[in-house]
């Protein structure tokens, strides 16, 4: 009986740790064909409702102009597709980033412009929550 209790407790602790790690803010995506006018993140974890924002970027890995966005629910969401609002060519680098819904004047309306505080990017330990993909 003691052995079963210890194993069950150890299993519960492992599940709790995995669940916490799974909900840590992140974006996972791969290089992909964007000729259909969308870019998709395989998985996104957001601490609160917000946005998956697609920025142009270059070799300097700095976020540039926004070329697409999609709403996010708090928690982990799979297959998040953002409609591109500008032409993106094969070879272009895109930064997929998690932004908040904070600071704007309208809930559910994406209000961010480059450098603004409204619906701005979230950070974990001072780092942007993002990944970079190359358009195919």
pLDDT of residue 100: 96
Quick check: 16 pLDDT over 60?
A: no
pTM above 0.85, yes or no: no
pLDDT at 115: 86
Phi, psi of 7 (to 5 degrees): -65, -45
For 87-110, the pLDDT digits (tens) are 999 999 999 999 999 998 999 999
**What are 130's strand-pairing partners?**
97
* Cα dist from 75 to 10, 55, 72, 101, whole Å: 25, 22, 9, 14
Report DSSP letters for 34-79, one per residue: -TTSEEEEEEEEESSSEEEEEEEE-TT-----EEEEEEE-SEEEEE
Please state the domain extents for the chain.
25-134
């Amino acid at each position: 009986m003691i052995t079963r209790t210890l194993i069950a407790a150890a299993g519960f602790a492992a599940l709790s740790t995995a669940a916490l790690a799974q909900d840590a803010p992140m974006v996972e995506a791969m290089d992909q064909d964007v000729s259909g006018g969308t870019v998709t993140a395989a998985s996104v974890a957001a601490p609160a409702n917000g946005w998956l924002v697609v920025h142009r970027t270059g070799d300097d890995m700095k976020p540039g102009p926004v070329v697409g966005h999609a709403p996010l629910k708090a928690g982990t969401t799979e297959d998040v597709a953002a409609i591109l609002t500008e032409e993106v060519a094969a070879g272009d680098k895109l930064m997929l980033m998690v932004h908040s819904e904070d600071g704007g004047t309208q809930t559910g309306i994406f209000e961010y412009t480059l450098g603004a505080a409204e619906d701005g990017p979230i950070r974990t330990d001072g780092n942007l929550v993002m990944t970079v993909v190359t358009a195919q």
